[in-house]
Amino acid sequence: MHTEANQPLLQRITRLDLKNCRLTSVPEEIGLCRGVQWLNLESNQLTSLPERIFRRLDNLQELILAHNQLTTLPEKIFRGLNNLEKLEFHHNEFITLSEEIFRGLNNLRELGLDYDQLTTLPGGIWNGAIDNGANLVYYRK
C-alpha cells in the first residue's frame, strides 16, 4: 500500500469497520485515518494491543474491541482519545485492568465490560470517566 500517496484519502475516513477480518494485530496504518470517529475491531483474533496504536485518532468517538481474546491492555492505550464517548470490550478475557486505564477519558459515556473474566475493578479505575456520568455495562459471569 502506498500510504504516502493515499494519506489524504485515509484522513477523510470517518467510519472504519474491520469486524470479522481475522486480524491478529491492528495495522499501524490505522493511525493515518486521523478523521475516523467510529472504529470497529470486533470479532477478530486480537490478543494484545500496542500502547500507542490509537494515539493519532483524535476524533475517535466510538471504539469497539468486543469478541477478541484480549487479556490485558496497556495502561496508557486510550491516552489522547479525548472525544471517546463509547468504549466496548465485552466478550474478551480480561482478568484485571489498570487503575489508570480510563484516565483522561472525560467524554466517556458508555463502557461495556460484560462477559469478561473480571471479578473486581480497581478502586481508582473511574478517575476522569465515571465522575462525568458514564454508563457502565459490567456483569460478572
pTM: 0.87
Which pLDDT score is estimated for 7?
Answer: 83
Range of the domain at 120: 1-141
| Residue type present at position 114 | D
How many domains does the chain divide into? 1
Q: What CATH number is given to the structural domain containing 77?
A: 3.80.10.10
User: Tell me: the pLDDT tens digits for 10-30?
Assistant: 999 999 999 999 999 999 999
The predicted model gives 81-100 an average pLDDT of 90
Q: Please tell me the distance from the alpha carbon of residue 24 to that of residue 21, in angstroms, as a whole number.
A: 9
User: Tell me: the pLDDT tens digits for 117-127?
Assistant: 877 776 666 66
Q: Please tell me the distance from the alpha carbon of residue 22 to that of residue 108, in angstroms, as a whole number.
A: 28
